[in-house]
Structure 1
Amino acid sequence: MDLDEAVTELYGCELADFVPTRTRVARLVADTDEAAQVRRLRKPTVSAWLLNQLVREDPGLIADVQRLGSAMRSLQAKGDARALRELRQEREELLTRVVAGVEGVARERERPLPASGVDEVSATVIAALADAGSAAALASGMLVRSLSYSGFGEVDLDDAVATRAHLRLVPADGGGESADPCSSEAGSSEAAQDERAQDELAAAVVRLQTAEADIVPAQEALDEAQAELARAQEALRVARERADAARAELGRRRRTRDAQQQNVSALRRAALAREGDDPS
């Protein structure tokens, strides 16, 4: 089993089984470094777990999020505010569908959505519509927490995805042609170039986030090593104290033995002296 297979199985299991499943799949990963990465993976929040299950049960719905997000980002890059407003209704309907899908998964799995769950799910979808990296994170099915978009810049994905190296960018339109049959060849070519640029940007974002994510396990490994060193130093201190106490006790017992030996010798000498003085 490789890292991608292990993570896919882990974030697809029942939430209550996360810890034992993590232990089991980590043992099945052949690569030692990858197995260590699996053991460090965090348990997702309820909202993130439900979204991960929705990705697996209804990939078409997540593809709709990818498609609409790609279209909205393209229009925003062109500054076409009117076209963006025309997509507002579709955006609201898609949000409703995703929330309903998550609530359906929650009922099926008997895992109630928390009070803040609807807001967290909606915020994650909004982030996926606005940001290509977030869309890839959602589509990966490996969310650890919900996402949030502040209205500008890239979405903060720190600690949000189990392993960013395996984010899967889902094609927004299935690789088909432009949806507008009236487009000219020049328009189609421009749209294709724009789509390639968006894909390259999304891929670059994922590569950057992957590089940033590499820092996290390295820091965790350092923290773990420092904690282990501290434990070893404490164990050494305790061992030294025990050794000092044992040496002190050994010295005390040796002094007691020597005193007893001297006492026995004195008694023997006294006994011999009495025997020598005995006239009989």
Structure 2
Amino acid sequence: MTVDALGEVATELYGLRPDEFTAARNARAQAVAADDRALAARIRELRRPSPAAWLVNQLMRHRNDEVEAILELGAEAREAQGRFDAAELAELGRQRRRLVSALAHEAGDLADELGAAVRTPVLDEVAQTLQAAMSDAAAADAVRTGRLVRALEAVGVEVDLSDAVAGGPAPRTEPGDTARAGETPARPSAAASKRRRAERAGAERAVADAEERAAAASAALEALDARLADAERGHRELGTRRDELEAELREVEAELAEADRATRSVARERDRAARAVDAAEVDAEEAREALDALEQPE
């Protein structure tokens, strides 16, 4: 078994969605077991990445230029610290916060695109990992592998990388890439400066794009707020109208109850009158019969 072989397998596996990882890892281990049992065993040991680590790995695959831009900015910030250039350090710090925030936001969109949406705490861990990679060259190399197993965190100037990268350690930073403690870093070459300017321009475009998306989202939010206010106003108006109708209904029902009582009273009077008519008709009939009897000859 070679580290390169394990690294190649790990690179492929850590490009998958977290829900695909375990089945694919086991299938790959089974496929190589007949030819290389040691490699199969190491593949089975590969751990499923945390959501934040998975998302940082995907940023390396799908947003490589943006990630490299902030890692280069981190290297410049470390050099500025070595020179104790306070003004440059402050400006780099501002750029660093803007870029990390923009890229963490873009990571959320990327997760949606890849069919594995994440929540805000995961994006916070992504930003934390990017900050750690900017503060430490070895952490930057770990991010560049695209095989992170867990999120990274800078404690002071230290970043714990134990068991952070799958498939073998991250390649070491080439000598001279980052200033060592107590050493004065060499000034970057013209080609390196040109490359960094190009990368910074790309990073600034990423910030501008992120700010444009934020402005569009803010405008959409304002429009939705206006629609919500209209809906709430309409709801209040309908509620008021409902209350008015309910009050009117109560009045009509009271009037209807009074009409029912009046109808029953009239009906009772009518019944009494009908009975009086019947009695009077009987009396009249009896009177006619008596009169007829008197008129008969004796």
With normalisation by structure 2, the TM-score equals 0.54
2:29 maps to which residue? 26
Indicate whether 1:94 and 2:99 are aligned: yes
1:4 maps to which residue? 7
2:108 maps to which residue? 103
Question: Matched residue of 1:39: which SS?
Answer: helix
Q: Is the 8 A contact 1:139 1:168 kept in 2?
A: no
Q: Is the 8 A contact 1:18 1:43 kept in 2?
A: yes
The separation in 2 between residues aligned to 1:72 and 1:89, in whole angstroms, is 11
Indicate whether 1:81 and 2:86 are aligned: yes
Q: RMSD value over aligned CA atoms?
A: 2.9
Q: Deviations over 1:75-112 (max 9, x none)?
A: 11222222110112211221122112211111112322
Bigger Cα Rg: 2
Structure 1 residues 91 and 37: alpha-carbon distance in aligned structure 2, compared to 1, 3 A threshold? same
Structure 1 residues 61 and 168: alpha-carbon distance in aligned structure 2, compared to 1, 3 A threshold? farther
Question: Matched residue of 2:109: which SS?
Answer: helix
The separation in 1 between residues aligned to 2:8 and 2:50, in whole angstroms, is 21
1:207 maps to which residue? none
Indicate whether 1:47 and 2:52 are aligned: yes
Report the CA distance between 1:190 and its aligned residue: 4.1
Question: Matched residue of 1:12: which SS?
Answer: coil
Unaligned runs of 5+ in 2: 178-183, 193-298
Which of 122, 125, 135 pairs up with 1:120?
A: 125
Q: Is the 8 A contact 1:139 1:169 kept in 2?
A: no
The separation in 2 between residues aligned to 1:189 and 1:50, in whole angstroms, is 34
Q: How does 1:166-177 map to 2 (within 5 A)?
A: 166-167=170-171
The separation in 2 between residues aligned to 1:151 and 1:189, in whole angstroms, is 25
Q: Is the 8 A contact 2:77 2:93 kept in 1?
A: no
The separation in 2 between residues aligned to 1:158 and 1:188, in whole angstroms, is 28
Which of 15, 19, 23 pairs up with 1:16?
A: 19
What is the aligned length? 179
Report the CA distance between 1:140 and its aligned residue: 0.9
Greater CA deviation, 106-115 or 52-61? 106-115
Q: Is the 8 A contact 1:47 1:114 kept in 2?
A: no
Indicate whether 1:155 and 2:169 are aligned: no
1:57 maps to amino acid: H
The separation in 2 between residues aligned to 1:54 and 1:150, in whole angstroms, is 23
The separation in 1 between residues aligned to 2:64 and 2:12, in whole angstroms, is 16
2:43 maps to amino acid: V
With normalisation by structure 1, the TM-score equals 0.57
Q: Deviations over 1:39-64 (max 9, x none)?
A: 10111111111111111111111111
2:160 maps to amino acid: D
1:253 maps to which residue? none
Unaligned runs of 5+ in 1: 174-186, 196-280
Structure 1 residues 100 and 33: alpha-carbon distance in aligned structure 2, compared to 1, 3 A threshold? same
Identity in percent: 36
1:71 maps to amino acid: E
Report the CA distance between 1:188 and its aligned residue: 10
Q: Deviations over 1:180-237 (max 9, x none)?
A: xxxxxxx996446xx9xxxxxxxxxxxxxxxxxxxxxxxxxxxxxxxxxxxxxxxxxx
Q: Is the 8 A contact 1:136 1:169 kept in 2?
A: yes
Indicate whether 1:70 and 2:50 are aligned: no
The separation in 1 between residues aligned to 2:117 and 2:186, in whole angstroms, is 48
Structure 1 residues 166 and 50: alpha-carbon distance in aligned structure 2, compared to 1, 3 A threshold? same
Structure 1 residues 24 and 81: alpha-carbon distance in aligned structure 2, compared to 1, 3 A threshold? same
The separation in 2 between residues aligned to 1:143 and 1:61, in whole angstroms, is 18
Structure 1 residues 167 and 101: alpha-carbon distance in aligned structure 2, compared to 1, 3 A threshold? farther
Greater CA deviation, 28-37 or 8-17? 28-37
2:279 maps to which residue? none
Q: Is the 8 A contact 2:79 2:185 kept in 1?
A: no
1:244 maps to which residue? none
The separation in 2 between residues aligned to 1:69 and 1:113, in whole angstroms, is 26
